Amino acid sequence: MSGNTPGRLSGKSHKATGNASGREGNRRPNSGKSGGPGNASASHSASGGASRSQKPKTSARALAVKVLSAVEQDGAYSNLELNRRLKEADLSPADAGLATELVYGTIARLNTLDYFLERYVAKGVSKLQPWVRSLLRISVYQMIYLDRIPEHAVVSEAVNLAKKLGHQGISGMVNGVLRNMIRNRDELRIPEHLPVAERISLEHSHPLWMVERWIAHFGEETAEAICRANNEPPAVSVRVNTTMTTREKLMHEMASTGAIVEASRLSSDGILVRSGGNMALTSWYRDGLFSVQDESSMLVAEAVAPEEDQLVLDCCAAPGGKTAHLAEKMHDRGRIVANDVHAHKRQLILDQAERLGLSCIDAVTGDALDLNERYPEASFDRILLDAPCSGLGVIRRKPDVKWTKSVEDIEDIAGLQRELLNRVAPLLKPGGILVYSTCTIEPAENEDMVADFLNRHPEYRPAEASVWSESETANLKVVNGGVQILPQYAHSDGFFIARLVRAR
């Protein structure tokens, strides 16, 4: 949230790796990283295991202001900063949930909140101190989007917090702004006469450039549906470890404890958990019966379709969710080389394998651009390139992404993706399958990237036989041997998955 430009989130740019960190709270259930334990639920994070008397006193709103200010001023990652502060704070589970909702909700609705505030802040939102700006934003978010909190309580809490963090003058300004907005509540709406892209941008709180780009790619109706879906709470889904149990058996066990579950319609290995608590804290998770993973992400291993005793390369593997799914598909027979550029992430892959009881995964460290120098040509039966991407398919889990990405970022990452494809393509055996996947919806990173690759590599062609059932790919855009999943299609992450075969 740049101090100079309202509606912008400054700080670190999030490098997406196809794995979404969880958005949790009152309306945002814990989702976890793809294949990983995920972030602990708000109540679990807040407890920390120590006695309350040892913890500093704070409030949900004060904590949210501190997190949002750190994101703006220091470039902190919202999920990491929030979890860190929750572990340090003395909050009840309910207050921890409120703090989480305020952080993620405020970021998700950033430019809409600033649009309304600009009318009532005399000097403009950009002229405020970061903590004051954050305080006003979380207050307006409560007034507009959380109908369970009375407006008078929102104002009272904001004024008291302004006195605590600032001085009488600031608290008076906060009081005046919020009360004026309440008196003119009917005016807090987006004008209907705006140009379509601007209306969508403000109504669904997305950067204007992003909305215009999506309108150009998908049309007005689909672009608005994408933006609307990005503000919905992410679903909680788990992937059954089929080397240990079946989906039907695990669903029966979960339901017997009171959890509300249903079979995924997108993946035959998936279960949607409508109610049941933090899945990463269950015995089923600890015993390796499932992994927390988004439904769209589950389709990647299905596209690779590895077979027993094959040699498989996972080029950008951490934290290991898709790697583990590949191993499960192979019945843990064969060998998977799971590579990641970061040495410390190698342990994440190994931890996944150990928890799930998988022994065929060989985790290695190195730059994926150098894989062609480390392995001979035509070495692998299957290759998965789950490429670094802009991450514009996982905005509902990482709302920060909306405000930290730019057109230049998309162009830069597309260059890396193109080079990665060039480097790993020779490593596949003739007749083998190469799967290219991203967690973005950008054509430049997806179908355009694959079309360019096929044009430059005549030895490759789109795989003819689909490994997905008609129910899995119903209403999905099929192009260049793969599928484009938009977030509104199945209320899952936006993903692109292309399945290519080396013909010679």
Q: Which residues are catalytic?
A: 439
User: What are 71's two structure tokens?
Assistant: 């994101």
Q: Is the dihedral of CA 167, 168, 173, 179 positive or negative?
A: positive
Amino acid identity for residue 38 in this structure: G
Of 453, 432, 315, 438, residue with least CA distance to 371: 315
Listed in sequence order, the residues at least 6 apart from 153 whose beta carbon sits closer than 8 Å to its beta carbon are none
How many helices (H) and strands (E) are present in the chain, helices listed first?
Answer: 22, 13
C-alpha to C-alpha distances, 32 to 23, 51, 79, 173, 343, nearest whole angstrom: 8, 26, 11, 39, 22
Q: Is the dihedral of CA 262, 265, 269, 270 positive or negative?
A: negative
User: What are 278's two structure tokens?
Assistant: 């933090």
Supply φ then ψ for residue 459, to 5 degrees.
-75, -10
Amino acid identity for residue 172 in this structure: G
Helices (H), 375-476: 400-404, 407-424, 447-456, 470-473
